[in-house]
Amino acid sequence: MKSLPPRCRSRRIAAVVLGGCLGLLCGRPTAAAEPGGRDAAASLLAPADTSSPRDTLRGFCAAIDRLYGSLSSDRPTSRRENEPLIRRTLSCLDLTGIASSLAEARGQEAAVCLKEVLDRVGIPGDAAIPGDEEVAKSAPKRWRVPGTEIVIARVTEGPREGEYLFDADTVARSGEFFARVTHLPYAADAGSPGLHDLYVTVGGWMIPESFVRGLPTWAHTPILGETAWQWIAAAVLVACAAAVVLAARLVSAAGGDARAAGPLRPVRAFVFPLAVIGSALVLDYALTSQVRFTGDALYAAKLALRILVYTGVIGIVVAALHGATEFVIRWRRIGSGAIEGQLVRLGCKVTTFLVVSYLVIVGADSLGLTVTPLVAGLSVSGLAFALAAQYTVENLIAGIVIFIDKPVRIGDECQYGDVLGTVERIGLRSTRIRCVDRTLVTVPNAEFAKEQLVNHGCRDRFLLRHVLRLPPDAAPGRIRRVLEGVRTMLTEHGAVADDSVRVRLVACGGDSVDVEVFAYVLTREHPLFLEVQEEVLFRIMEIVADSAAGGGPVQPTLRTAA
């Protein structure tokens, strides 16, 4: 059995095999990749050969052994040289059954455990492993390593169809297989002895191995699958991340006060979600590549951190859409009670719901959750909600129709059936009218859109129309003087449209002689119309009185024309 390499070498081994290649492993190339080694360089770029169980098994072991050997040499290796080896190792595993966010971590641990098992039980000769010739003849569906439950199976579907990989069950049970053989010694030809011990005990490149080795004995006590120092380090990292998130929350909360936030108010809304995302990503890297959590602890931590990342992304989306909505409302100078502002906000809420739903589905898929039942459940729930809220949806659609058609606006005087008043608010569900007696009438939009609506606020002038009823015994000459006087007065009045003036004798009966007075008052304000109408009526009364001078009294009666 090979002896373990020095500490400096073992630290680099664990760093690379467990994802430590993310560190700054810079230096001269190894002997296998020195200038002039064109074949070695080509082999680094070539994909793993998985055309047969023999090629997959040999390639898997050779990649880990080569990585182990290159890092055990006295010459430091570069990150560029190690990453292809790690990718080649993982490409020999069927990771399709693992969530994408956990695939790399699970794949690294499975590779280490499987290599430890193979280094102990030994690898059979080439004659015992199906190669290209056997595949060409019979294309076996699977091959099992003798004396083990490790299976290399042929992929039957997907982009890697026809390749031979360590099957999903083998990858999932790799830790179980390793636990069964930990008491066995390494085989004579073991290529990477002690790999798993380094995997679970040594930190990443940021944590010196000498520091870890120098910790007291109690710090290396296993607790729930991890050592005590790893749990302490994780607790410190979580506390630091929580402090950063809390500080970001305080900064973001200060942005809620417009006077305190100033011009940075829109930016502060993104501080908290960005802090959540950044802290989660840093914790993910630290726990995976530096503290080196493994097994269930690592998977639980990555799952929680990935949820935090998606939560932060959702927070950024919500803040961005809300900021865009308020910007549009301010830019268009939309009033607080206007239906335009409510529709803009409704559109923002609908867009936010759709984007958040998409992110939730994508996040659930990346975490390995089954998305199809979730989507089906949302569809059924949406249908049930739509049926239950049918009347509300009808009012909502009617509100949108009112917004597009604009039969009335806020502030317009309108008449809805027997209701006469001023439109005070147009909402997505109902419209409110302030009546003349100051009562507030709320009309659902669905009913408001169906009934006949008279908008007095849209008229450009008021109609002045009255019938002047003179006594039946009034002399014709006096009636002519009344007609001419009233006509002249209205034509010369500055607030009356002279081209609309009409003063005519319309009826001669036993009870009265009727004179119709018709004209338009050039105003849109009802109080001003009443003022002009009052003045005109007084002038008519004066004209009638003047026409009767010297000819006996004439007592007219005025009434508004129907």
CB atoms within 10 A of CB 136: 10
pLDDT at 526: 82
Least confident of 279-283, 328-332, 444-448: 328-332
Under 8 Å CB-to-CB from 542, ≥6 apart: which residues?
Answer: none
What pLDDT band is residue 150 in, cutting at 50, 70 and 90? very high
pLDDT at 456: 79
Task: Dig out the tokens for 238 from the structure.
Answer: 């979580």
- The tens digit of pLDDT for each residue in 169-197 reads 999 899 889 989 988 999 888 888 877 77
* Average of per-residue pLDDT across 250-256: 72
pLDDT at 73: 56
Residue 11: Cβ-neighbour burial (10 angstroms; 0-12, 13-18, 19+): buried
For 24, half-sphere exposure in the C-beta direction (CA atoms, 13 angstrom radius) is 2
Mutual orientation of helices 371-388 and 339-366 as an angle, nearest 10°?
150
| Tokens 């280094």 -> residue | 119
Cα(343)–Cα(162) distance, integer angstroms: 55
What pLDDT band is residue 21 in, cutting at 50, 70 and 90? very low
Q: Is the pLDDT of residue 1 over 60?
A: no
Q: List the domains of the chain with CATH numbers.
A: 7-214 (no CATH), 226-388 (no CATH), 405-457 (2.30.30.60), 460-560 (3.30.70.100)
pLDDT at 199: 67
104 to each of 93, 169, 385, how far by Cα in Å? 11, 16, 41
pLDDT at 368: 66
Least confident of 233-242, 353-362, 401-410, 494-503: 401-410
Q: Which helix (H) or strand (E) holds 435?
A: strand 430-435
Q: Could you say which DSSP state residue 40 is in?
A: H
For 463, half-sphere exposure in the C-beta direction (CA atoms, 13 angstrom radius) is 10
More confident residue, 112 or 560: 112
More confident residue, 559 or 450: 450
Q: Which helix (H) or strand (E) holds 516?
A: strand 513-521
Task: Dig out the tokens for 179 from the structure.
Answer: 């636990």
Q: Is the pLDDT of residue 258 over 60?
A: no
pLDDT at 242: 92
506 to each of 468, 487, 512, how far by Cα in Å? 10, 15, 11
pLDDT at 25: 31
Cα(352)–Cα(358) distance, integer angstroms: 10
pLDDT at 517: 92
CB atoms within 10 A of CB 40: 16
What pLDDT band is residue 213 in, cutting at 50, 70 and 90? confident
Cα(228)–Cα(212) distance, integer angstroms: 11
Least confident of 111-125, 232-246, 264-278, 367-381: 367-381
More confident residue, 364 or 118: 118
SS3 at position 553:
coil
Cα(379)–Cα(375) distance, integer angstroms: 6
pLDDT at 534: 92
- The tens digit of pLDDT for each residue in 64-96 reads 887 777 655 555 444 456 678 888 888 999 988
Under 8 Å CB-to-CB from 486, ≥6 apart: which residues?
Answer: 468, 503, 515, 517, 539, 540, 543
Q: Is the pLDDT of residue 283 over 80?
A: yes
* Average of per-residue pLDDT across 445-469: 84
Q: Is the pLDDT of residue 461 over 60?
A: yes
Q: What angle do CA 81, 86, 91 make, to 5 degrees?
A: 130
Q: Are 83 and 44 in contact (CB under 8 A)?
A: no
* Average of per-residue pLDDT across 132-140: 88
Share of the chain above pLDDT 90, in %: 16
What pLDDT band is residue 339 in, cutting at 50, 70 and 90? low
pLDDT at 402: 76
Bridge partners for 464 per DSSP: 519
Q: Is the pLDDT of residue 391 over 80?
A: no
Residue type, 447: E
Q: Is the pLDDT of residue 319 over 80?
A: yes
Report the candidate in 117, 172, 169, 183 with the shortest Cα–Cα distance to residue 148. Answer: 117
Q: Is the pLDDT of residue 221 over 60?
A: yes
pLDDT at 369: 67
Q: Could you say which DSSP state residue 143 is in?
A: E
Q: Is the pLDDT of residue 279 over 70?
A: yes
pLDDT at 264: 54
User: What is the DSSP code string of 180-242?
Assistant: HHTTSPPPTT-SSTTHHHHHHH---TTS-HHHHHTS-GGGG-EETTEEHHHHHHHHHHHHHHH
